Amino acid sequence: MSRAFFIFSVTLALLFGGAANAQVFKIGAKAGISTSGISSDDLSIRSTDDLQDLKISLQNSSPEYQLGLFTRLNLAGLYVQPELMFTTSSVEYLLEDFRDGTSDPLYEQYFGLEMPIMAGIKLGPFRANAGPVFRTNLGSVSEITQLSGYGRKFRESQMGIQAGFGFDLGKKLILDFRYEVDLSETRDEITIFDQTHELSKHGGQLSVGLGYSF
């Protein structure tokens, strides 16, 4: 993630430098919501004699909520808009224990940082943009940790691409609609009873964000 933070810092420095001359610099707060990017195949945990002991299946996943800051530099119909967003989402799993015939819901909540760097064109209030997005996991709170031998390995960093459009609503408000595709090759991993399983790579995400410039 050091590379992502470096890119973000350099972009901010360029924006602040350009803003002194262009006087078209914006900075503000932004909140958003997106469809869940979490997916998972059912996990079958087997004993040493190859009998199925446990099954963990995804039941429900919440939208991803985002809150953070954005900056923007407008130049002759073009603009660059870096953002730094705190993200959180949660999922509900169903744990089936075939050893005693019980089944219980288990909850997990995730926290992360998202850094989109969008560039595009601006025609009046309408904007079209695209750019890379860098993500890092900050951790999770999980009820799955109650399982003996449970372990979790998150991807240290992820990279994707976002594209979409937006509108400037007056001088202060901005509205963005985007679609994101994950480009990372690695996946999160879960370990139970010394058995490691890769979790499914999440699919595309649709998001909407509302910002207010100071």
Query: What pLDDT shows up at residue 34?
Result: 93
Structural tokens at position 186: 């690695």
Instruction: Tell whether the model's pLDDT for residue 180 goes beyond 50.
Output: yes
Instruction: Tell whether the model's pLDDT for residue 14 goes beyond 70.
Output: no
**Distance, CA of 61 to CA of 91 (rounded, Å):** 4
Instruction: Tell whether the model's pLDDT for residue 188 goes beyond 60.
Output: yes
- According to DSSP, the residues that pair with 105 across neighbouring strands are 94
Query: What pLDDT shows up at residue 79?
Result: 94
Strand locations in 35-101, DSSP E? Answer: 43-46, 52-61, 64-75, 78-97
Q: What is the largest CA-CA distance in the chain?
A: 72
Query: What pLDDT shows up at residue 154?
Result: 64
Please state which of the ranges 94-98, 132-136, 144-148 shows the lowest mean pLDDT: 144-148
Class of CATH domain 2-213: mainly beta
Query: What pLDDT shows up at residue 146?
Result: 66
The phi and psi torsions of 66 (rounded to 5 degrees) equal -130, 140
Query: What pLDDT shows up at residue 166?
Result: 96
pTM to 2 decimals? 0.77
Instruction: Tell whether the model's pLDDT for residue 177 goes beyond 90.
Output: yes
Q: pLDDT grade, residue 142 (50/70/90)? A: confident
**Distance, CA of 52 to CA of 45 (rounded, Å):** 6
